[in-house]
Each structure stands twice: as C-alpha cells, then as structure tokens.
Amino acid sequence: MNATTVNPPTGRLLVISASWPPDASGGAEYAMQSARRLAARGVDVHVLTRTDPPRMEHPALTLHPIMPDWSWRRLGQVKALVDALSPDAVMLHFLGRLYDHHPMVTMLPTVLKRRHERLRFVTLLETSEGVKRGKWGLLTHLGHQWMASRIGRRGLDKAYGTLLRDSDTVLTLAEAHRHMLQQRCPGLDGRCVVIPPPPLLTFTTHPSEVARSIGRRQLGLDEDELLLGHFGYIYPRRGLETLIEAMAQSKAAAADVPPYKLVIIGGSPARLLRATGRPDYLEELGELARKRGVADDIVWAGYIDGDSDALSNALHALDACVLPFENGVHLNNSSFAAAAWHGLPILTTQVPSTEAAFEHERNCLLCPPGNPAALAGDIERLVADAALRPRLAEGALTMAKTHFCWDRTIESMLTACGLDSAKPPAEPAETPSR
C-alpha cells in the first residue's frame, strides 16, 4: 500500500523516532509507513532518528539521521533542528527502551514549546512502557534533577517526564494503554486518543485464491495441506514456546484431528533479543520443537518483505492464524490487524485488559495465555471444525474494517498535529475479498 501521489504542502511536521528501517521491529515500520502517508496527504515531513546503521531513505520524506544517542548532550541537536525547521508540530514515537531509557526525550514537550510558543507537540506511545530510572547513571540523574528544577516538578512523571503533562495530544495504540495513562495523569482524559495500528504491509492485488496458490508455492507447501500460521517479529512474550508445546500435545492426544503444519512468518529483531539477554532465541525455539517431536511440522519462513506483495500472498496461503501472546491480545497488535484484514480465522489470548472489541467465537477464539493444554484444545477445534473457520474469518474482517484503517489513523494524526487534511491520494483496496 505505497502512497506515491503527493498533495501540495499543508504544513511541516517533525517526526522523532529512535526506531526506523532497517531496524527489524514493528515500531520502525509503523513510524515509516505513517510518515509516508502523512507526506502523501501534503505534509512536509522531516524525520529525526539514529545515525547507525544507515537509515532507509524515502523520496517523500526528509531524513535527519543525526542522533548517535539520546543523552542530555544531544538535547542541543534537537533544539537546533527544530529552530532550523520551524515545524508546525512535532510527533514523538515513544517507547522507553528505544531511547535507552534516558529521560531527555521525556522533557521535549516542555523544552520545545517554551522556545516555540505555537508549536504543537504530540506523543505517540507505542506501548505503555516508559523510561526506567534503574537504568540511569549518576550524570543522567543529576541532569534530570537540574532539568526538573527548570521546567517544574508538579505533574512530572517518573516514567514519562512531561510527555503526559505537556503534550497537546497523546496518541495510544490500545484502550488498555489509555486507561493506565489516565490513572497516572488525571488531566489527560480529553487529550488522549486511541489509534490502533493498521497492518504494516502491502496488500496483494491478486484475487485471494490466486494469492493463496502463489503464497503456497513461495512457502514450498502443497495446495491441500492444512496450514496454521504465526505472523510477526519473533521475540520472547509472543507465546511461541506455548504454541510449540500445544502443537505437540494436540498431535499426541488427538488422533482424529486432521494433520496440519505450522508456518512461522517473521524475522528476529537482533537488538531486542540482545537487550533481553536471549540473542539465540530462534535457535532455542528450534531446539524446543525438536525435543517435542514437531520440528518436521513447522516451516520457518523467516522475514518476508512487506513492501512487496510476497508477505500478503503468504498470509493468504494460511488457513488460520495463531497468536498466543503472553500479555494477551490488544488493539495495538498489528499482527492481529494484518491477519484480520486477510480474512483469517484467528486464535489468540485474552487477559483482563483485552478490549471488548475482541469477541470470543465471533471475530476470534480467545484462550488464556501461557496454557499449552487450553491452546491445544482450541487448535484441535480450529483444525477439525470446518464450519467454525469461515465464521471467525468473517468476524475478523468486519473488525478490521472497523478498527484498523489507515485513513482513520492518518486523520487522527493530522488532527492531533493541527495540520490541514488534504484529500488522500487513490490507493489500492485494503485487501481483496477472501
């Protein structure tokens, strides 16, 4: 879904994102795709990001990869760029660990708005994770104390600095995040907007059955094999250990269940795996599959580029999608959005904070996280019940059209930034019917 037609300028926006392709993360892809779509709506978009590795350029955007880190000594570079660009708005894509848990960026709304009174500052929270003070050194602590004395301590949040207090709008990707933030900052209510992320891929232009055949061929699988799929970057907390164990249990206990294979689509974000102390996580999963006797039933498809239609074709090749998130499904899970837009029946996990939009047996199957036996039972049901799958698929596609739309997301961003909304350029349909 690449926007190529650009409207006349309707304002200037500086996007600040520590994560940007070629970083292997959903946050990097979301930052770039949303920036591209804002540019297609006529906004003069500039992006401030890291220096290394070389950042991915795009003709509709002006990239400023000048930040070797996000420490106090880099605050001057941010202020200088804003002074030079004089943007109408700044949008910060924020997740504490992406900024090395340093508090500098959490003070930006106050610092920049004091220098530019008419500037609008928008914070987009990718998850509810702020900065962690336990990661700070002595100089970071001292700098924070000095800055707090200058900008005011009232309403200063330990994890978010002045992001909640002084941002004109806070965008969150899930209702659960908004609820938590409103508890931390009672005055946030009218300034917090939920915008679930749409799927981060280009949809195939092939009819669904043609796309299915193409996808099966590129995965090296037969037309008549029953395929479950897991889609998304591979890292801990996505529940893949639970899925492998559930798969082993279902195949051992249910002789009457039709045979099936599991396709795991997605790359491994090396930086995140190093940060979690598990750089060999993919090898760990492969070893678990071998120990549980299901290695021959798993196809590791690896990373598939979402800018071509290859990823969309691969999703069309699936018969169902299984997303057993350890933290439960929420509206910010773009993997769910992609599967739903492809009309796939989806089996996922529910926790108390899972939004009411996820309806058991209507638009997905919901089971408790970290429970291989429960997941195995639902896999058996999903595989064996041919009438259940189309009902869930229809419900998922209906939910996708209601909650995961790029036009709605970009309109919300434009409104938050106080920018005029030009007519969007023509784009392909979000997905062919399944």
Alpha helices in 192-328 (DSSP H): 208-219, 240-253, 270-275, 281-291, 310-316
Q: Say if residue 254 is in the same domain as residue 139.
A: no
Q: Say if residue 37 is in the same domain as residue 158.
A: yes
User: Does 423 fall in a domain?
Assistant: no
| Domain of residue 410, CATH code | 3.40.50.2000
Give pLDDT tens digits for 136-179: 999 999 989 999 898 888 889 989 999 999 999 999 999 989 99
State whether residue 324 is helix, strand or coil. coil
User: Does 429 fall in a domain?
Assistant: no
Q: Say if residue 135 is in the same domain as residue 237.
A: no
Q: What's the chain's average pLDDT? A: 90
Q: Say if residue 178 is in the same domain as residue 229.
A: no
Q: Say if residue 187 is in the same domain as residue 305.
A: no
Pairing state between β 120-125 and 43-50 = unpaired
Q: Say if residue 43 is in the same domain as residue 101.
A: yes
Q: Say if residue 188 is in the same domain as residue 300.
A: no
First to last CA, the chain: 18
User: Does 425 fall in a domain?
Assistant: no
Q: Say if residue 410 is in the same domain as residue 392.
A: no
| Contact indicator for 345, 389 with CB cutoff of 8 Å | yes
User: Does 236 fall in a domain?
Assistant: yes
Q: Say if residue 162 is in the same domain as residue 178.
A: yes
Buried b (16+ CB within 10 A) or exposed e, 47-69: bbbbeeeebeebebbebbbebee
Q: Is the pLDDT score of 316 beyond 60?
A: yes
User: Does 422 fall in a domain?
Assistant: no
User: Does 105 fall in a domain?
Assistant: yes
Give pLDDT tens digits for 64-111: 999 999 999 999 999 999 999 999 999 999 999 899 999 999 999 999
Residue 38, pLDDT score = 96
Q: How far apart are CA 401 and CA 51, in angstroms?
A: 37
User: Does 5 fall in a domain?
Assistant: no
Per-residue pLDDT band at 404 (split at 50, 70, 90): very high
Q: Say if residue 355 is in the same domain as residue 253.
A: yes
Give pLDDT tens digits for 323-350: 999 999 999 999 999 999 999 999 999 9
User: Does 3 fall in a domain?
Assistant: no
Tokens matching residue 206: 């092939």
| Contact indicator for 44, 7 with CB cutoff of 8 Å | no
pTM more than 0.75: yes
What residues have CB less than 8 Å from 238, skipping those under 6 apart? 230, 232, 323, 324, 325, 326
- Domain span at residue 388 reads 208-403
Per-residue pLDDT band at 273 (split at 50, 70, 90): confident
Residue 423, pLDDT score = 60
Give pLDDT tens digits for 183-198: 899 888 889 999 999 9
Q: Say if residue 125 is in the same domain as residue 174.
A: yes
Q: Say if residue 129 is in the same domain as residue 25.
A: yes
Using CA atoms, how far residue 55 sits from 101, 168, 339, in Å, is: 21, 29, 28
Q: 230: burial class by Cβ within 10 Å (0-12, 13-18, 19+)?
A: buried
- The share of the chain scoring above pLDDT 90, in percent, equals 73
Q: Could you give the number of structural domains in the chain?
A: 2
Q: How far apart are CA 329 and CA 77, in angstroms?
A: 38
